[in-house]
Amino acid sequence: MYALLYMKGSTLTMHNEVKSTSASDGSASPFNPYKMAVQQFDIAAEKLGLSEDMREILRRPKRELTVHFPVRLDNGRIRTFTGYRVQHNVNRGPAKGGIRYGPDVTLDEVKALAMWMAWKCAVVGIPFGGAKGGVICDPKDMTPAELERLTRRYATEIAIIIGPHSDIPAPDVNTNPQVMAWIMDTYSMHEGFSIPAVVTGKPLSIGGSEGRNEATATGVLFVTRQAAKRIGMPLRGARVSIQGYGNAGSIAARLFHNEGCKIVAVSDSRGAIYNENGLDLAEVSRHKQETGSVVGFIHAQAIRVQDVVEVPCDILIPAALEGIITAASAERIQARIIAEAANGPTTPEADRILYKRGVMIIPDILANAGGVTVSYFEWVQDLQSFFWGVEEITQRLEMIMNRSFAAVAEKADQFHCDMRLAANMLAISRVAEATQIRGIYP
């Protein structure tokens, strides 16, 4: 088994599906997050000198579940939905990862996110493997009652692989504490008693944790502080552009504003706004609440969503979906620090360009790990039925994020590489070590 871990001078072999970056007619292929995740893994595995046997174990998901399930709509019709749950390596502990709803959810997206979750949990040193789930639907076109029925039926379908000691879901894109409450209740009803630890990100009244809602954005702030110190840039007065103004993005805007930063641009799914003198966040939030979007805010200039990553700023926070920073946009980015609050926002080609240009990227598996870290705190509290105050949670989170940033920075210095490769190397080596020590059963 020990031969599985490291094989110096081993030859890197990638599957054809991973190496392909263009279509057969020579045109660019659609963005595929799973191909990107595997490419990132292969680069780190090669740098680590992992044996091909170990690469095959770590490269692939442990389990992929696809479910098709009927839901009765309010008009009496029955519609069949498709959902997924993927687990990626559980040698360090139960699988952990969110559930997202959206019309564009794909199995490859879920597989990529599950892989990233495995590395994310490892890089911050919490005892989880990776997982992710998703349902192909458009929540904006569904009533609350339909959304509840969809959630409960999906929870029933994936109940065969989730559980407080096997796989613990959490909120993600287009899901929230209420969705987690429905999943927790559905699972508990099947078991016959309340099991709050089956999900995290729940409402406080049923076993949720203080600080969970703000955890992702708070973690982004903590590591950005460390990055700013590393490059000698003061945070006070820094210009910040935020791509995505949902939960993580809007809370990050408030936290960075409180830190003395100037929020110059924000975006949502409908458009983006920019004001070089800084946005009035209270007014922006009020406008979004009234209209459903930041678009049309009168005290700012309307810009294209893709321009948010290119406006003059010191800190760029991608806080929406994957693949927003491409090779083309990387040449025009003006930020000195990119803190990835979203998963997979930067393509490998853009990574290389930004590294050569001297832009510090705090990679997603480190930058947005505050969410899963406080989810871990919630899980621990649920298992103990003993809950902590928000001050203790924030202190523990800051300690873990600062310690993890320091470990990744040390690895980057040791190997003279960018922070993403360093973070992936650190995480993958930890998962590989656990896999080697446990061995193969039977």
**Lowest-pLDDT range of 31-40, 99-108, 257-266, 409-418:** 31-40
Burial of 181 (0-12, 13-18, 19+ CB in 10 A): buried
Can you read off the two tokens belonging to residue 373? 């870290």
Considering the domain architecture, whether residues 254 and 229 belong to the same structural domain is answered as yes
In-domain check, residue 439: no
Distance CA 433, CA 146 (A): 45
Domain span at residue 14? 1-59
Residue 10 predicted with pLDDT over 70: no
pLDDT above 60: residue 28? no
As separate numbers, helices (DSSP H) first and strands (DSSP E) second, the chain gives 15, 12
Q: Is 227 found in the same domain as 355?
A: yes
Task: Give binding residues as ranges.
Answer: 96, 120, 216, 247, 375
Alpha-carbon distance values, 32 to 24, 37, 95, 423 (Å): 16, 9, 23, 21
* Whole-number average pLDDT of the chain: 93
Helix axes 52-59, 33-48, angle to 10 degrees: 150
**Residue 225: CATH number of its domain:** 3.40.50.720
- Given 367, 396, 419, the domain boundary residue is 367
Residue 132 is among the residues annotated as catalytic for this protein: yes
Instruction: Say yes or no: 230 and 313 in one domain.
Output: yes
Known binding-site residue numbers for NAD(+): 216, 247
| Catalytic annotation, pick one of 19, 35, 47, 132 | 132
The reply to whether 337 and 252 lie within a common domain is yes
Q: Are residues 87 and 179 in the same domain?
A: yes
Is the CA virtual torsion 170, 172, 177, 178 positive or negative? negative
Q: How confident is the model at residue 220 (pLDDT cuts 50, 70, 90)?
A: very high
Q: For residue 423, which phi and psi values (nearest 5 degrees)?
A: -65, -45
Question: Which of 367, 401, 435 is a domain's end point?
Answer: 367
Looking at the fold, whether 2 and 102 belong to one and the same domain comes out as no
CA-based nearest residue to 87, from 110, 61, 67: 61
Looking at residue 29, what is its pLDDT?
A: 64
> Is residue 318 reached through a cis peptide bond, with omega within 30 degrees of 0 on the bond before it?
no
Residue 3 pLDDT more than 60?
A: no
Burial of 260 (0-12, 13-18, 19+ CB in 10 A): exposed
Using 50, 70 and 90 to split pLDDT, how confident is the model at 17? very low
Same domain, 11 and 71: no
**pLDDT band for position 5 (cuts 50, 70, 90):** low
| Banded pLDDT at 30 (limits 50, 70, 90) | confident
Angle at 270 between CA 267 and CA 276, to 5 degrees: 30
pLDDT digits (tens, 9 = 90+) for 157-182: 999 999 999 999 999 999 999 999 99
Whether residue 315 sits in one domain with residue 301? yes
Residue 386 counted as domain residue:
no
Give the model's pLDDT for residue 321: 77
Domain membership of residue 372 (yes or no) is no
- Which of 9, 24, 59 is the endpoint of a domain? 59
- What's this model's pTM, rounded to 2 decimal places? 0.91
**Using one digit for the tens of pLDDT, what is the confidence trace for 115-136?**
999 999 999 999 999 999 999 9
Question: Domain for residue 249, yes or no?
Answer: yes
Binding site as annotated, residues for substrate: 96, 120, 375
Same domain for 75 and 186? yes
Clarify whether residues 152 and 81 are in a common domain: yes
Check residue 89 and give left, alpha or beta (phi > 0: left; psi -120 to 50: alpha): left
Specify the number of domains making up the chain: 3
